Amino acid sequence: MKCVILAAGEGKRMHPLTYTRPKVMLPIAGKPILEWNLTNAVRAGLKDFLFIINYKSGMVRDYFQDGKPWNVKISYINQGKPLGTAHAIGMVESFAYDFVVLCGDTIFGTTDIKNIMKKDAQLGVTTTENPSQYGVVDLEGDLLKAIYEKEPNPASNIINAGMYHFDASIFPAIKKTKISPRGEFEITDSINLLTHNDQLHAVHLKEWRDVVYPWHLLDANEELLKTQKSRCHGTIDSKASVTNSVVIGKDSVILPGTYIEGPVYIGRDCKIGPNCYIRPYTSIGDHCHIGNACEVKNSIVMDHSNVPHQNYVGDSVIGCYCNLGAGTKIANLRFDKNEISVILNGAKVDTKRRKLGAIIGDDVQTGINATINTGSIIGNSVFIGPGAIVNGEIKPQARIW
């Protein structure tokens, strides 16, 4: 049985992080989203993979190559112009007969993948508090009657979870699928065509984490860090303190006076300390420096980024090759303690979070004593001058003084 993973999209709701990488390559707890799905699918017994790619596809190919590090075979199909999920799945007709499909930007659990592989399972479903953002499923027992895509007033909170088990019968349905009101050929329309003649069985998923907006990375990061076991491939100074579950990568050094309170993930070739505090649910990428008198809490710091001098970073996502000048602080809680809204792609979005710092793209530099307000969205290659105050959405390559 093959496994097809849809990994072609950009993920515009993940701006500014996806200006420079596809959504499936965003890191959570030390691995790209796509790797979590690959790993869980391998654990479920799948060995032959087809990745459907397009946007910045070289990053996916360079990272996963032919799959040998995972003892699997990985092949690639470039979707070209993104015309929807049905179009993407239709491209595998000559490569796959009996196959599982996973949406690459949603994290699925191993047990659920095993269950969808069973002969009488065709569609993964789950429940959510926001069903209007998804395809709502109409079930009769475990039989699918129909899927209603992004209804403003959904009849239930049971949704299509983005995991499927298909055979060759899906391809004629895809060929009959018409373009949707959203301008795409959608696999849910193809599935609705199948229900006219076939019985499709739904499987209720128990491990499902959709990652839609940048702050959802923090939720998924927390969940996955809770499952990790401690391991250290670096060096911890005798005057540093490391508690609970902490992963430390090869050649990383934990300097004197550092206090790390797990669960925390630290990548390869990092310098942590001296005299800094890494709080729970923090993931730090490879080649990073967290320095003197700094505190990092519940955040993701990506590869080659530095938080080196007297900085505070809370509930934030920081891209690659960023550097925070001495004294830069990121606020993460409003005075009134209300939920934080952000401006993303020019539109106001309620994050439903009481604590949220900043979402910062790649190659952002701040001067000394810069202040970044709650819910700030900072594009890539932005320069923020000494003492500057940042609010709202900052477009890429802006200069703030």
Instruction: Tell me the pLDDT tens digit for each residue of 64-93.
Output: 999 999 999 999 999 998 899 999 999 999
Rounded to an integer, what distance in angstroms lies between the CA atom of residue 134 and that of residue 128? Answer: 9
Q: Residue 141: which of 83, 196, 100, 199 has the closest Cα?
A: 199
Q: Residue 375: which of 290, 325, 316 has the closest Cα?
A: 316
pLDDT for residue 116: 96
Omega before 82 within 30 of 0, i.e. cis: no
Rounded to an integer, what distance in angstroms lies between the CA atom of residue 394 and that of residue 343? Answer: 9
Question: Within 10 Å of residue 19's Cβ, how many Cβ atoms?
Answer: 17
In sequence order, the 6+-apart residues with CB closer than 8 A to the CB of 130 are none
- Are 222 and 228 contacting, i.e. CB atoms less than 8 angstroms apart? no
Chain mean position to CA 293: 30
pLDDT for residue 182: 85
Rounded to an integer, what distance in angstroms lies between the CA atom of residue 174 and that of residue 167? Answer: 12
User: Left (φ > 0), alpha (ψ -120 to 50) or beta: where does 304 sit?
Assistant: left
Output the six-digit token pair for 178: 């018409």
- Please determine, looking at this structure, whether the domain spanning 2-212 carries the CATH number 3.90.550.10: yes
Omega before 16 within 30 of 0, i.e. cis: yes
User: Do 2-212 and 223-400 come out as alike in CATH topology?
Assistant: no
Q: Residue 273: which of 246, 229, 235 has the closest Cα?
A: 235
Q: Residue 284: which of 310, 256, 311, 316 has the closest Cα?
A: 316
Rounded to an integer, what distance in angstroms lies between the CA atom of residue 280 and that of residue 283? Answer: 9
Burial classification of residue 217, based on how many CB atoms lie within 10 Å of its CB (0-12 exposed, 13-18 middle, 19 or more buried): buried
Q: Encode the chain (401 residues) as per-residue pLDDT tens digits.
A: 999 999 999 999 999 999 999 999 999 999 999 999 999 999 999 999 999 999 999 999 999 999 999 999 999 999 998 899 999 999 999 998 899 999 999 999 999 999 999 988 799 999 998 898 899 999 999 999 999 988 888 888 999 999 999 999 999 999 999 999 889 999 999 999 999 888 899 999 999 999 999 999 999 999 999 999 999 999 999 999 999 999 999 999 999 999 999 999 999 999 999 999 999 999 999 999 999 999 999 999 999 999 999 999 999 999 999 999 999 999 999 999 999 999 999 999 999 999 999 999 999 999 999 999 999 999 999 999 999 999 999 999 999 99
Residues facing 166 on adjacent strands: 99
- CATH fold group of domain 223-400: UDP N-Acetylglucosamine Acyltransferase; domain 1 (2.160.10)
Ordered by start, the domain boundaries in the chain are: 2-212, 223-400
